[in-house]
């Protein structure tokens, strides 16, 4: 006679929670391709599966564009063409894993567009991100809201600052050294999430940050707009 293990009430409740029809969003931190840390893609895939996610948001700076940086860069970095080719190859791995995703445009993503504006080049000359990267089913936006939670890259303060000023739950990236969830109760209960990032601190592109605090390598999960979880990658 085949033995069938019993499901405890606690396990049944957990299973019912996983099967509940609600958004379960994997939030992927700044990848700065092609300078993403080894293993981060696998960590995000594992997190997606573990929390039974059904939606994906990249929180911005999927590209680094170090060759076009407004800061000084080491001469040893790859040429612009080489960096772009490396980045496209890495982004294709993300696209294969998550072909349907929302991409928040980060400050590093828009460096090339900013350079064109400074040079007086009409925007019609600029290809779309999907054309360059070969990601036709990705949706690129500046900001998006699901379940009364706003998702943005974050270039003017922390997620906590934005949560308080906008009076709504906020998820953002941009600040590589922060990874947290904090709650605020005022007129309504809201949360702020800093997702962490997927940057490789040892890459030459981040030489400007060698004296800074260590990056928090992590992604996040937001469930139904009511639960926010930081998922740090083991290092």
pLDDT tens across 175-221, in order? 999 999 999 988 889 999 999 999 987 776 666 666 567 889 999 99
Q: What is the pLDDT of residue 67?
A: 82
| Tokens, residue 225 | 């707009």
Cis omega (within 30 of 0) on the bond before 34? yes
CB-based burial of residue 69 (10 Å sphere; 0-12 exposed, 13-18 middle, 19+ buried)?
Answer: middle
Q: What is the pLDDT of residue 44?
A: 98
Cβ atoms of residues 232 and 43 within 8 Å: no
User: Which has the closest alpha carbon to 171: 50, 51, 25, 37?
Assistant: 25
On the question of pLDDT at 126 being above 90, the answer is no
CB-based burial of residue 142 (10 Å sphere; 0-12 exposed, 13-18 middle, 19+ buried)?
Answer: exposed
Q: Give mean pLDDT, residues 84-89.
A: 95
Q: What is the pLDDT of residue 7?
A: 76
Q: For residue 34, what are the contacts with CB-CB under 8 A and spacing of at least 6?
A: 64, 83, 86, 87, 89, 90
């Amino acid at each position: 006679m085949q033995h069938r293990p019993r499901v405890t009430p606690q396990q049944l409740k957990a299973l019912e929670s996983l099967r509940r029809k609600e958004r379960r969003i994997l939030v992927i931190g700044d990848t700065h391709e092609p300078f993403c840390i080894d293993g981060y893609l696998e960590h995000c895939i594992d997190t997606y599966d573990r929390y039974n996610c059904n939606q994906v948001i990249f929180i911005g700076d999927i590209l680094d564009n170090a060759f076009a940086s407004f800061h000084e860069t080491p001469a040893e970095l790859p040429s612009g063409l080489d960096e772009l080719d490396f980045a496209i190859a890495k982004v294709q791995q993300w696209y294969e894993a998550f072909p349907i995703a929302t991409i928040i445009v980060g400050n590093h993503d828009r460096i090339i567009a900013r350079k064109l504006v400074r040079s007086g080049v009409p925007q019609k000359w600029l290809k779309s991100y999907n054309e360059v990267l070969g990601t036709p089913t990705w949706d690129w936006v500046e900001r998006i809201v699901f379940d009364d939670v706003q998702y943005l890259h974050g270039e003017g303060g922390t997620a906590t600052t934005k949560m308080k000023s906008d009076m709504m739950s906020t998820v953002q990236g941009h600040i590589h050294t922060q990874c947290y969830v904090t709650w605020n109760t005022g007129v309504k209960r809201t949360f702020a999430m800093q997702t962490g990032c997927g940057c490789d601190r040892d890459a030459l592109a981040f030489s400007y940050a060698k004296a800074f605090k260590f990056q928090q390598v992590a992604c996040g999960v937001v469930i139904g707009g009511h639960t926010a979880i930081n998922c740090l990658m083991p290092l």
